Amino acid sequence: MSTQTSDGMNYAPRGKAAPVVRPGEFVFAAMYLDHGHIYGQCNGLIEAGGTLAKVYDPQPERVARFVQTYPQAVAVSDPREILEDPAIRLVAAAAVPSERGPLGCQVMRHGKDYFTDKCPFTTLDQLAEARRAVAETGRKYAVYFSERLHVESAVVAGDLVEAGRIGRVVQVLGLGPHRHGASGSRPAWFYERAKYGGILTDIGSHQLEQFLYFTGNTSARVQAAKVANYRFPQFPEFDDFGDVTVIGGNGATGYHRVDWLNPDGLSTWGDGRLFLLGTEGYIEVRKYVDVAQEKVGDTLILVDKAGEHRMACAGTAGFPFFGRLIRDCLDRSETAMTQAHAFLAAELCLTAQVQAVRVAG
Amino acid sequence: MSTQTSDGMNYAPRGKAAPVVRPGEFVFAAMYLDHGHIYGQCNGLIEAGGTLAKVYDPQPERVARFVQTYPQAVAVSDPREILEDPAIRLVAAAAVPSERGPLGCQVMRHGKDYFTDKCPFTTLDQLAEARRAVAETGRKYAVYFSERLHVESAVVAGDLVEAGRIGRVVQVLGLGPHRHGASGSRPAWFYERAKYGGILTDIGSHQLEQFLYFTGNTSARVQAAKVANYRFPQFPEFDDFGDVTVIGGNGATGYHRVDWLNPDGLSTWGDGRLFLLGTEGYIEVRKYVDVAQEKVGDTLILVDKAGEHRMACAGTAGFPFFGRLIRDCLDRSETAMTQAHAFLAAELCLTAQVQAVRVAG
């Protein structure tokens, strides 16, 4: 599995190995491989020193492909062989979105931490249940918000903000365009509202997490949201466009736009951008491509009092989230991401989806 | 007066001369030089063949500077020498924003067309009065929406959209950051709400016009808006941030953000951007600078089915608005911009300002 850029569903970044534990010290398993993000999740944990022990999925062909990539993973035929294995500390999963919440509660109630692909939930009820399960079990419900956690230029942006390079961040603007891909390339659940939850719930979840992270907000409200289906009338439950604007408790605001309208001529799966507007400067991140300029992404532009600065971030910052997550699981700390932050990001995107005005397509 | 890029207030583009009339065939005057945009307005009209005959402003030093740039303009000491001169067909003006509406009605009631700097109004009442005056007099109330009309890359974007290069435009996203400039460089009215009208009314007006133009909408509503003052607490009536999201009658939507937070290190007065999202591709316009790449602006990026295309637009398209406006005044046509369009753009920005949530600074 190498880093692929034609299709976001199979975008599984690889970084430098930076183990935080010895082999065998942090054992995890993978379950439910519905979304290709599971490869990115596993890559991140393995590079941070995690030991991938087992894999379960009801579809044998998916398991066969998985163990080809990760021969160390023992394929098991019953999920209980993972859930009831005391050696396994964490379960990484990328189930159909509507199953992620219930699966996570099941995992936590088996005494394990959970690391799900985004979106973490498709309904506010699932979120409420997960909050209860976390409170009851003391386990972690961690989320793979890959569009920040697995993008080095976004990691660098976080470091620059933390260092005060653009002053106070007053607005985050995120663009998350995605390639739909060839007709027939997506599974049926991709178009079923009850299963994927709507575009703001799904790919919008990355965005709201970034808003909270870069502005340092611990509370926020949705001011307005909308969704539309402009190009896929054959899938009436599908949204191919969504946007949301939010107001944070600390006075910083956000605007986030997502879509499935990416043109075929783009050299990557999506021209993802992030703009951080600060009182002393601004940052633009061109995550996956510097469009019509460089066929590589991870370009960060910083404009401050001194000038305009361009930084090539690939290979610089790595992906510190995964090692921190492993340490947090072992140390019961919250250095990677607090549970409250992950759940609030989820709450905002679910609320945005519920409140969204449906615009005529 | 050459094109300046340090300060938007004195940004007065020059283009290729493309006269649509013979000398003396279209005579105009300039009145009220409060905003430096009057130079851009006059440049555009003169390049299109207009004959600048007279100038009036109550401040002699402003008149002196003006006639240095335009020696052909006769300075008059009483506005009636312009208003009552039957040879003058159009009055170009850049008064204090709150005076623009009343001045325009006065000009039209003297039988002349009016060409004001944006923002065209500061209150909805002024707009209503101008609509009445247009209906009564049959004169034109034209607006210098310079951030589209006087930017060649934006002109090219319009041509590409019209040619169907990105399919149906479903979203317009505009960023209009502006440099405040050195402390003390702005006139007092710049900070007085009753005079400048608020940030969405003022620099937001460019944005709403672009939304209507690029989506081809003739109706729209404000979904949400907000304003804030993050960096200028010494000017409590000032907004240094504003945004608005709109829903067009044809189902296309817009998001527009403006601010006065431009960092000193930027090589121009504002990193203005325009993103047009279409069903078959998208366009990004980097109006005044290709930040951290090229010190020139007017870069247009088109991504379509075939690939990623970068176009340097400076010196290509010219500024057809001005010649069309002159022809419209002579022919009583509406090829440059319809009156309904200009007034709807004004209505949207005024409504956004009224509806805006004030975020804690």
DSSP for A84-133, written as a single string:
T-TT--EEEE---HHHHHHHHHHHHHTT-EEEEESP--SSHHHHHHHHHH
For A47-103, how does the pLDDT look when each residue is reduced to its tens digit (9 = 90+)?
A: 999 999 999 999 999 999 999 999 999 999 999 999 999 999 999 999 999 999 999
In the predicted structure, residue A5 carries a pLDDT above the cut 80: no
* Confidence band, pLDDT 50/70/90 cuts, at residue A234: very high
Strands B90-93 and B113-117: parallel
Q: Higher confidence at residue A315 or residue A1?
A: A315
**Residue spans in chain A of domains classed CATH 3.30.360.10:** 148-319+350-359
In order of A103, B80, B222, B321, B327, the CA distances from B337 in angstroms are 58, 28, 22, 8, 12
Q: Which residues pair with A137 in a beta bridge?
A: none
Task: List CB contacts (< 8 A) between B173 and chain A.
Answer: 175, 257
**Residue spans in chain A of domains classed CATH 3.40.50.720:** 8-146
Q: State the Cα–Cα distance between residues B245 and A254, nearest whole angstrom.
A: 12
DSSP for A206-236, written as a single string:
HHHHHHHHHHT-S-EEEEEEEEE-SS-TTST
Closest-approach residue (CA) in chain A for B223: A224
Among A5-9, A21-25, A159-163, B79-83, name the one with the lowest average pLDDT. A5-9
Side-chain-side CA neighbours of A152 within 13 Å: the count stands at: 17
The answer to whether B251 contacts A264, with C-beta atoms less than 8 Å apart, is no
Q: What is the DSSP letter of B44?
A: H
For residue A301, give the nearest of B171, B278, B292 by CB distance.
B292
DSSP for A267-315, written as a single string:
SSS---EEEEEETTEEEEEE-S-BTTTBS---EEEEE-SS-EEEEE-TT
Task: List CB contacts (< 8 A) between A173 and chain B.
Answer: 175, 257
Q: State the Cα–Cα distance between residues B266 and A319, nearest whole angstrom.
A: 30
Identify the CA nearest to B119 among candidates B46, B196, B63. B196
pLDDT in the model for residue B13:
83
**Neighbour count for residue A43 (Cβ, 10 Å):** 22
Q: State the Cα–Cα distance between residues A145 and B100, nearest whole angstrom.
A: 50
Cis-peptide, bond into residue B349, ω within 30° of zero: no
pLDDT in the model for residue B15:
82
Q: Which residues pair with B54 in a beta bridge?
A: B29, B74
pLDDT mean over A98-120: 98
For residue A247, give the nearest of B226, B251, B267 by CB distance.
B226
Identify the CA nearest to A241 among candidates A171, A176, A173, A190. A176
In order of A328, B177, B225, B226, B239, the CA distances from B357 in angstroms are 39, 20, 6, 4, 12
- Residue count of chain A, please give it: 361
* Confidence band, pLDDT 50/70/90 cuts, at residue A4: very low
Q: State the Cα–Cα distance between residues B286 and A301, nearest whole angstrom.
A: 14
pLDDT, mean over chain A: 96
For residue A255, give the nearest of B243, B289, B308 by CB distance.
B243
Test mutation, A173, A261, A302, chain B, max B CBs within 10 A: A261
Give yes or no for a contact between B3 and B150, defined as CB atoms under 8 angstroms apart. Answer: no
To which H or E segment does residue A39 belong? helix A37-47
pLDDT in the model for residue B99:
98
Q: Which residues pair with A113 in a beta bridge?
A: A90
What is chain B's pLDDT, residue by residue, as a tens digit (361 residues)? 234 456 677 778 888 889 999 999 999 999 999 999 999 999 999 999 999 999 999 999 999 999 999 999 999 999 999 999 999 999 999 999 999 999 999 999 999 999 999 999 999 999 999 999 999 999 999 999 999 999 999 999 999 999 999 999 999 999 999 999 999 999 999 999 999 999 999 999 999 999 999 999 999 999 999 999 999 999 999 999 999 999 999 999 999 999 999 999 999 999 999 999 999 999 999 999 999 998 889 999 999 999 999 999 999 999 999 999 999 999 999 999 999 999 999 999 999 999 999 999 8
Task: List CB contacts (< 8 A) between B359 and chain A.
Answer: 247, 251, 253
Q: What is the CA radius of gyration of chain B?
A: 19
Alpha-helix residue ranges (DSSP H) falling in chain B: 37-47, 60-69, 80-83, 97-109, 124-137, 146-149, 152-162, 193-196, 204-215, 320-331, 339-355
**Neighbour count for residue A159 (Cβ, 10 Å):** 13
Secondary structure (3-state) at A341: helix
pLDDT in the model for residue B295:
82
For A154-181, how does the pLDDT look when each residue is reduced to its tens digit (9 = 90+)?
A: 999 999 999 999 999 999 999 999 999 9
Strands B90-93 and B74-75: unpaired
pLDDT in the model for residue B7:
67
Q: CATH number of the domain at B8-146, please? A: 3.40.50.720
pLDDT in the model for residue B2:
35
pLDDT in the model for residue B27:
98
In order of A41, A48, A144, A176, A287, the CA distances from A15 in angstroms are 12, 10, 15, 22, 15
Task: List CB contacts (< 8 A) between A293 and chain B.
Answer: 293, 310
**Exposed e or buried b for every residue in A297-330, given b needs 16+ CB within 10 A?**
bbbbbbbbeeebbebbbeeebbbbbbbbbbbbbe
DSSP for B51-113, written as a single string:
EEEEEE-S-HHHHHHHHHH-TTSEE-SSTHHHHT-TT--EEEE---HHHHHHHHHHHHHTT-E
C-beta contacts of A308-312 below 8 A and 24+ residues apart: A308/B265, A308/B266, A308/B267, A308/B289, A308/B291, A308/B292, A309/B292, A310/B292, A310/B293, A311/A153, A311/A156
**Neighbour count for residue A125 (Cβ, 10 Å):** 11
The CATH number corresponding to B148-319+350-359 among 3.40.1160.10, 3.10.20.30, 1.10.579.10, 3.30.360.10 equals 3.30.360.10
Task: List CB contacts (< 8 A) between B303 and chain A.
Answer: 263, 265-266, 271, 291-292
Q: State the Cα–Cα distance between residues A309 and A328, nearest whole angstrom.
A: 35
Q: State the Cα–Cα distance between residues B96 and B89, nearest whole angstrom.
A: 22
